[in-house]
Amino acid sequence: MTCRDLPAAGRRTGDPSRHGGRSAASVPPPPALPRRGSTGRRVLSALFWLGLVAAVLPWWLDTPAGSLAGTADLLTAAGRVTGLIAGYLLLVQVLMMSRLGVLERGVGGERLSRVHRDLGATLLVAVLAHLSLLVVGYARTQGNPVTTQVGVLLRDFDDLVSAFVAAGILVLVGGTGVRAVRRAVPYELWYHLHLTSYLALLLGFGHQFSNGAQLFPPGPVRTGWTAGYLLVAAALVWGRLVAPLLLNLRHRLRVTDVVAESPDTVSIYLTGHRLLQLDLLGGQYLRWRFLTRGCWWQSHPFSPSAAANGRWLRLTVKVVGGHTADLRDLRPGTRVWVEGPSGTCTAAHRTRERALLIAGGSGIGPLRAMLEELPPGAALIYRARTPADVLLQHELDWLAQARQTAVWYVVGSRDDAGPRQVMSPDGLRRLVPDLTRRDVYLCGPQGLVDSSVRALRRAGVPRRQIHLAPFEL
């Protein structure tokens, strides 16, 4: 069925006095956030391509015209070029994993994850091409079989054993990055396997400077690559260690209440110090580590389900596994270690004044927070399987009045005719006649997001106006 108003579900909303004295629906919404441009992302993109040119340019300048006469020379040259490309891409990959604030909030952790995954495939191809081309090229030059040449390289060249180990690590990491493999592997195992990329950077460092034709001789090229390694290492130390330490010393977050929103969903309220200084926008996420038995050793990304108000924070989490099940048993006073915030799926990054938000299930959390920061006149379509699956309904109804927001609850299975009609291109245009002149934010299960994006594109919404909030990373 499709309905505009649902009856109150009788869910407990918690004692407001335990998390700051006021319920989420009673906090006056803040003024709409001003828009931010995309200049920063364009600058970073330009820097990436300039860096790639700078990485390969020394080979071009050092290679005389006519020097690539035979097949062996061409193979060796191609191996050196792909090696320079692979070295540069590995630095970029590790930099994107550094959680540097300027990248996490400027580019967005969700976009970084997508670029990191796509660039990882290119890196893997470059590494394998580098190894294969050089081995075959050297084998042709010296008249050795390929297998014999591998033994010669490992025996006679410094740091090549560690380089081969680094290549093996990158193959393993690249294999687990395939979407189907990642979904089959537990998050914690996948996460720790990807941390070995740092080891690959360390193991691959030596052979570049001891055997690389462009990096071995002292000079500006060697100095530039050394500076690149040092800058990436500094970004790692700052983003992974120093910045989180300062953040947690400043805010000292603790759990104050855990409230059941539905049989499989809970809201976790937190308080801390100087929360007004927390640079958090609705729609962004942080990585949360609850320092209690069974939870302290892993962190997970969750978006607050209410805009920052200086008094408390709230997460609304659906129980889908062992870790999220343990969150239902958190006790008041539990300390929390947090990293972030990250993400660009916010009201500040919109391209139009009006917005449409499409949520599914617990994906309502970040979009409900974003509603408080969007200009009046937004629209929300909330997709749920049953009325009991609609979360935070009383708050959404309050925001509909406070922010002049049109809210539609679209309830039913994916095969029901009503929801299918509403979520079609014609159905979306009927609900929101000015659809193509709005930004559209989506957060929910992948199936809902994919089908909604297809419907939006067929309805004429430009791709640049469609924003995907991270439902999972």
Which pLDDT does position 65 carry in this prediction? Answer: 77
Q: Cα separation of 288 and 105, whole Å?
A: 17
Enter the tokens of residue 91: 């630095």
Q: Cα separation of 369 and 385, whole Å?
A: 22
Which pLDDT does position 298 carry in this prediction? Answer: 81
User: What pLDDT digit, counting tens, does each position of 233-252 carry?
Assistant: 999 999 999 999 999 999 99
User: What pLDDT digit, counting tens, does each position of 69-96 carry?
Assistant: 788 889 989 999 999 999 999 899 889 8
CB distance 352 to 438 below 8 Å: yes
Query: How is residue 66 annotated by DSSP?
Result: T
CB distance 341 to 102 below 8 Å: no
Which pLDDT does position 29 carry in this prediction? Answer: 56
Find the helix or strand (DSSP H, E) in which 427 lies.
helix 425-431
Single pTM value for the model = 0.77
Which pLDDT does position 112 carry in this prediction? Answer: 84
CB distance 207 to 157 below 8 Å: yes
Which pLDDT does position 322 carry in this prediction? Answer: 65
Which pLDDT does position 2 carry in this prediction? Answer: 46
> How many H helices and E strands in the chain?
17, 12
Long-range contact pairs involving 58-67 (C-beta distance under 8 Å, separation at least 24): 58/84, 58/214, 58/221, 59/84, 59/213, 59/214, 62/213, 62/214
258 to 266, 315, 423: CA distances (angstroms): 7, 9, 34
Helix/strand/coil for 65 = coil
Which residue carries 């034709």 as its tokens? 213
Mean pLDDT, 10 residues at a time, over the chain (473 residues)? Answer: 41 39 50 61 87 92 81 90 92 90 81 83 89 90 88 82 84 73 70 76 78 80 90 93 95 94 90 92 92 84 90 89 78 94 88 92 91 91 90 91 91 86 93 94 91 94 88 54
Which pLDDT does position 423 carry in this prediction? Answer: 92
Find the helix or strand (DSSP H, E) in which 431 lies.
helix 425-431
Cα 249 from chain centre: 25
Helix/strand/coil for 2 = strand
- For residue 146, which phi and psi values (nearest 5 degrees)? -60, -45
Which pLDDT does position 450 carry in this prediction? Answer: 92
Q: Taking the CA atoms of the chain, what radius of gyration do you get in angstroms?
A: 26
